[in-house]
């Protein structure tokens, strides 16, 4: 009986992964991203690595908070909506991580070209593949377009959600473990992205002024929060 229930739960998660992928595709271009100029103004006297550490710390806190919520839901006597909770959690954490990825690209002088939607799709591809976008290599930007991205994104969402599902559901381990799992995932992603971006980092003084100014092309206004 338990095996049948688990298979049904995973089938539901697969269906929800497609919905989550569509939601992320719609959300990505609207996530507020701070330009390099704004980040430097908010962290005066700090270099790229110091600011990046601060951004990662904020993202870790945010993803842990989301994870704590779903972990607590798992401790309910009968969690009928666990699949929906996990899918919603994954979208929430992905949004936090997308913002982190975009601002790390700003810090390392690797802002991709294009308007808000094009950049949002590029960052979504970076999240899906867990590596940075190289603005000088068209193939890394073209990979962010079309049906292929949605397919790969769905697989990534499914993998991440299913990885958490058997850990939470059988043991009902609650908020602390849910927070820890998300924190671990976000930390690993940030390490992979930063390592990739450092390979082609452009020093701030060598960036053209346009690469440091507020984001244009229909993007949301610079986020002024930390």
Q: Note the residue count of the chain.
A: 226
> Between helices 174-198 and 147-168, what is the axis angle to 10°?
140
- pLDDT classification of 26: cutoffs 50, 70, 90: confident
Average confidence (pLDDT) over 109-131: 90
- pLDDT classification of 149: cutoffs 50, 70, 90: confident
Average confidence (pLDDT) over 35-56: 96
pLDDT at residue 203 is higher than 90:
yes
Rg of the chain over Cα atoms, rounded to whole angstroms, equals 18
Q: CA 69 to CA 136: how far, in whole Å?
A: 40
In this predicted structure, which of 16-20, 101-105, 128-132, 135-139 has the lowest mean pLDDT?
A: 135-139
Per DSSP, 215 falls in state -
- pLDDT classification of 188: cutoffs 50, 70, 90: very high
pTM of the model: 0.81
Count CB atoms within 10 A of the CB of residue 27: 15
What pLDDT score was predicted for residue 83? 58
Asked if residue 17 lies in contact with residue 87, where contact means CB atoms within 8 angstroms, the answer is yes
What pLDDT score was predicted for residue 53? 98
What pLDDT score was predicted for residue 136? 75
What pLDDT score was predicted for residue 1? 45
Summarize pLDDT for 80-98 with one digit per residue, the tens.
455 566 667 778 889 999 9
Asked if residue 57 lies in contact with residue 120, where contact means CB atoms within 8 angstroms, the answer is no
In the chain, what's the furthest Cα-to-Cα distance?
A: 63
Summarize pLDDT for 156-179 with one digit per residue, the tens.
888 776 665 544 444 445 555 667
Task: Spell out the residues 6+ positions from residue 161 whose beta carbon is closer than 8 angstroms to its own.
Answer: 13, 16, 17, 20, 86, 87, 90
The secondary structure of 168-194 as a DSSP string is: HTTTT-HHHHHHHHHHHHHHHHHHHHH
């Amino acid at each position: 009986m338990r095996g049948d229930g688990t298979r049904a739960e995973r089938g539901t998660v697969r269906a929800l992964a497609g919905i989550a992928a569509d939601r992320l595709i719609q959300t990505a271009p609207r996530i507020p991203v701070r330009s390099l100029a704004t980040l430097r103004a908010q962290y005066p006297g700090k270099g790229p690595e110091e600011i990046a550490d601060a951004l990662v710390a904020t993202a870790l806190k945010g993803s842990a908070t989301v994870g704590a919520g779903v972990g607590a839901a798992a401790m309910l006597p009968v969690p009928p909506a666990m699949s929906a909770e996990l899918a919603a959690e994954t979208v929430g954490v992905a949004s936090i991580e997308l913002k982190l990825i975009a601002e790390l690209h700003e810090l390392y002088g690797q802002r991709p070209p294009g308007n808000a939607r094009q950049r949002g799709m590029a960052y979504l591809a970076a999240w899906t593949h867990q590596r940075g976008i190289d603005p000088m290599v068209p193939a890394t930007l073209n990979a962010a377009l079309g049906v292929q991205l949605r397919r790969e994104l769905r697989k990534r969402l499914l993998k991440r959600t299913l990885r958490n599902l058997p850990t939470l559901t059988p043991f009902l381990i609650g908020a602390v473990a849910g927070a820890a799992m998300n924190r671990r995932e976000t930390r690993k992603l940030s390490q992979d992205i930063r390592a990739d971006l450092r390979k082609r980092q452009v020093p701030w003084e060598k960036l053209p002024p346009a690469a440091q100014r507020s984001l244009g092309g229909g993007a949301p206004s610079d986020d002024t929060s930390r």
